[in-house]
Structures are given as structure tokens and as C-alpha cells.
Amino acid sequence: MQTKILLDEEEMPKRWYNVLADLPTPMDPPLHPQTKKPVGPEDLAVIFPMELIRQEMSPDRFIDIPEEVRDVLRLWRPSPLYRAHRLEKALKTPAKIYYKWEGVSPAGSHKPNTAVPQAYYNMKEGVERIATETGAGQWGSALAFATMLYDIECTVYMVRASYTQKPYRKSMMQVWGAECIPSPSTKTNAGRAMLEKDPDTPGSLGVAISEAVEDAATHGNTHYSLGSVLNHVCLHQTIIGLESREQLARVESYPDVVIGCVGGGSNFAGISFPFAGDKMTGKHPDVDIIAVEPASCPTLTKGLYAYDFGDEAGLTPIMKMYTLGHDFIPPSIHAGGLRYHGDSPIVSKLVHDGVMRAVSYHQTEVFDAAQTFARSEGIIVAPETSHAVKAAIDEALKCRKTGEAKTILFNASGHGNFDMSAYDAYYGGKLVDYEYPDALIRDALKRLPTVP
């Protein structure tokens, strides 16, 4: 009875998979925030290195991973794929549950899969400093790790609610040499404007993005780096799904269901895009791909599929995506990495086109699922990952009712070792199930940008 499926270092993928090559219809282009015309490479060159811009717009199905990047990824990749025998037994399900364990990276999550190549390409262009935002702190700590490797300074604007809730993420960033600033801050025009509007604001990823983009655009030695949403970020994360597909092939299996939690969409894209490619090209047309989000930030399940800014201040390109409105301020739930107002344009298009589907859960029920997982498999997952765990358990319980022995794959995108205050709140009965009101969503959507 095999529990852990491993690949050797030399079997790590040498190319990323670009799902853009297999879309039935092309993406709607990002638009310039002022001119409302399609964004070109020259518009992005102020804040991104040219190689990432090329990857953002590339039509190629596969893009080579530089050997220098693969050399760093070998520190933890290929990551293990586990068969959750104990969870299956606890659920009394005939389903076979597998999880890809990304908590083995130095930062404890999937985020270094893109932080390392992004830092590498910036280093190749001679960039001295990178500014970024972070929600729960996993992206900020991953980029701090990556910039340390290439001797690049790093400034991280961390959503204020998470900065308070997750102090050890800030400590990780500092250990690796990064500066971590609670957002909104007084260091940028965007931050000062938000604090003037609401001095007690918990902050949001939209605001933190505005601060980081402004920082990068106003300093000649600085570029901006994003940990989710954009095409090149999703591209880098596909190493997860590519490894998973190969590992399942070792046991002569292929998933009936593929699951990941969604904030901006990077870890979900990582686990799902290779399988979405199989679905769209007809190799496995029936695979069920499920995106899981919190009911308090229901972007895919209640948002509008429309053009919107990626940040609160309107500094980023306008992207076609599911959105709750760029000035949406989510409640301070403990799954801080899932509180973005929008989603990856590619994920959004695939959900809109029916290649994938989305579900949402309240935070108490996902912590129930995380507890079940920890008491069977032993791993304490991050609050974000617990959403994927909940969906996997629900699918397995459906199999118990129907008797189907489906194969379920989910991405366990990070550990919860620095999220114990959230578990304390759960055991103390302090978690509040908050469903974002439809009226507030409708109000925020009234302020979407006007697009020709």
C-alpha cells in the first residue's frame, strides 16, 4: 500500500506549461489604466523584467525553466505526492484521495515556485530592489527568501490585518533580509489616501498592491513582483500539476477530481492547469476541476466577470476577471491569502467558460476539515489550504453515498505552523462565519472602470 510517491531530482520538469496555448478562444487583453488601450511590453517594462513580460504574453505551449532556477528548486522539488489512506479510512469512503504537499519549501508554501524565477530574471536585468505586497505573508516570505539568494533588496507591504495576526511571517521576512511594512502605510500616496479615508482600516491586497506598484514606479532601481494573478505567475506554478500528473502515472492513475483553494489563483493554477489542458484538448474531457474560495470573499461565486483594476488606487492594468470591485475591503478572516477582490484572468476565463467550477465555504467548516485532516494525516495545514481539504472531504463523502471509487487530487499548498493563532481562535469559539452581503458587492461593482 503505497503512501508516498516521489520523483528523483533529475525527473523534475524542465519546462513550464502555458495553458494559453490550449484555450479554445483567446484571452481579452489587459488595458492601460489611463488610455484604456491594450497594454504592450513597453508599458510593463517600468516594473517587470523583459523575460517575464515575454512569458506573460507568450503563445508557446511550453517554456524552458533555466537551469540556474532548477538548481534552486531542487532544494525542495520534486515535492511529494501522498495517498491519504488514513483520511480515506476516517471518512469510510471508497474514493482514493491524493494530496500534493507544497509545505516542504523553505518558506513553507508553493510561493517560492514563482518567487525564485522572478528574482532570477530581475537579477539578470541588474535590478537592485523589488517591492511587493503580501496578504497572509506566504508570498512576502517566499520573495524574501528568493531575493536573498540573488542579493536583491526586498520591500514587502503586508496587509495590516495579517501583519497583526501573523507576526512570525514578518519575522521570516526579516531573517531573510527583507523590510516588512504594514499596509496601508504612510510611505506611499496610495497608503496615505486610504488611511485618511479610514484610519482603522484592516487593509486589503488591493491597497497593498497599489503601494508596492507606486513604490516600484517611483524608484529607478526598483521593480515590482506579484505572487499571484498574472499569467507568468500561474505559468511558474504549473510545475506542481506537471509533477502530480507524472506521480499519479507511476501508480497508473489519473484524477477524476482536481481541487485547489483560490485567492488570486496561483496555487490553484499550479495544480489544475496541466489537467485543464488535458480536458480542453480532449485527452481527459471529464475531469472535474474545482476552485474553492471563502464565503466572505466570494469572487468566483458572486463576483462579476468584467474588466477591473487589479489594485485599489487604479495603478495596475485593467484586467478581464471575476471581481468584487477594486475598492472591496474584505473582513479580517484568518485565510488572509484568499482575500483578494479579483482572480487570475486565466482562471476567471476557464471558470466562465465552464472548464472549471467554483464553490465557497465558511471559515468554521474549513477549520473543521483541517482538524479532520490533521487528526488523520498528521499535517497542520494553512487556513488557505483548509478550503481545499474541505472540498476534497466533501467529494469523498459523495463517493461514500454513491459507492464510486473516484480519484481525488488536491493541492496542500502550505503548512499552518505560523497560523496557530487562527487555530487558537477556532478552538476558542471566536471564528465568525461571515458571508459578504450581496448589497455591498453590488455597490462595489458600480465603481468598475468604464471600458470602451
Residue 433 and residue 363 in contact, taking contact as beta carbons nearer than 8 Å: yes
User: Residue-wise pLDDT tens for the chain (452 aa)?
Assistant: 779 999 999 999 999 999 999 999 999 999 999 999 999 999 999 889 999 999 999 999 999 999 999 999 999 999 999 999 999 999 999 999 999 999 999 999 999 999 999 999 999 999 999 999 998 889 999 999 999 999 999 999 999 988 988 889 999 999 999 999 999 999 999 999 999 999 999 888 788 989 999 999 999 999 999 999 999 999 999 999 999 999 999 999 999 999 999 999 999 999 999 999 999 999 999 999 999 999 989 999 999 999 999 887 788 899 999 999 988 877 666 656 677 889 999 999 999 999 999 999 999 999 999 999 999 999 999 999 999 999 999 999 999 999 999 999 999 999 999 989 889 999 999 988 888 788 888 888 888 988 88
Query: In this predicted model, what pLDDT tens digit does every residue of 356-403 receive, in sequence order?
Result: 999 999 999 999 999 999 999 999 999 999 999 999 999 999 999 999
Give Cβ neighbours of residue 437 (< 8 Å, ≥ 6 apart). none
Distance CA 92, CA 309 (A): 46
E strand map for 122-254 = 129-134, 153-159, 179-183, 222-224
* pLDDT for residue 335: 59
Determine if the peptide bond prior to 184 is cis (ω within 30°).
yes
* pLDDT for residue 185: 96
- Look at the block and give the residue holding cell 531530482: 9
Give Cβ neighbours of residue 200 (< 8 Å, ≥ 6 apart). none
- Look at the block and give the residue holding cell 523589488: 130
Residue 381: name the closest of 164, 99, 77, 142 by CA: 99
Percent of residues in the chain assigned helix, strand, coil, to nearest 5 = 45, 20, 40
* pLDDT for residue 336: 62
- 53 phi-psi bin (left φ>0, alpha ψ -120 to 50, beta other): alpha
Distance CA 372, CA 419 (A): 17
Distance CA 404, CA 451 (A): 47
* pLDDT for residue 46: 87
0.85 exceeded by pTM? yes
Give Cβ neighbours of residue 98 (< 8 Å, ≥ 6 apart). 81, 82, 83, 84, 244, 248, 253, 255, 407, 408, 409, 410
* pLDDT for residue 206: 82
Where do the domains of the chain lie? 67-108+232-441
Q: What is the CATH number of domain 67-108+232-441?
A: 3.40.50.1100
Distance CA 105, CA 297 (A): 27
Report strand pairing: 62-64 vs 15-17: antiparallel
Residue 369: name the closest of 359, 382, 357 by CA: 382
Determine if the peptide bond prior to 13 is cis (ω within 30°).
no
* pLDDT for residue 235: 98
Give Cβ neighbours of residue 424 (< 8 Å, ≥ 6 apart). none
Report in angstroms the alpha-carbon separations of 175 from 75, 172, 449. Answer: 18, 5, 40
Query: In this predicted model, what pLDDT tens digit does every residue of 115-167 receive, in sequence order?
Result: 999 999 999 999 999 999 998 889 999 999 999 999 999 999 999 988 988 88
* pLDDT for residue 41: 92
* pLDDT for residue 14: 98
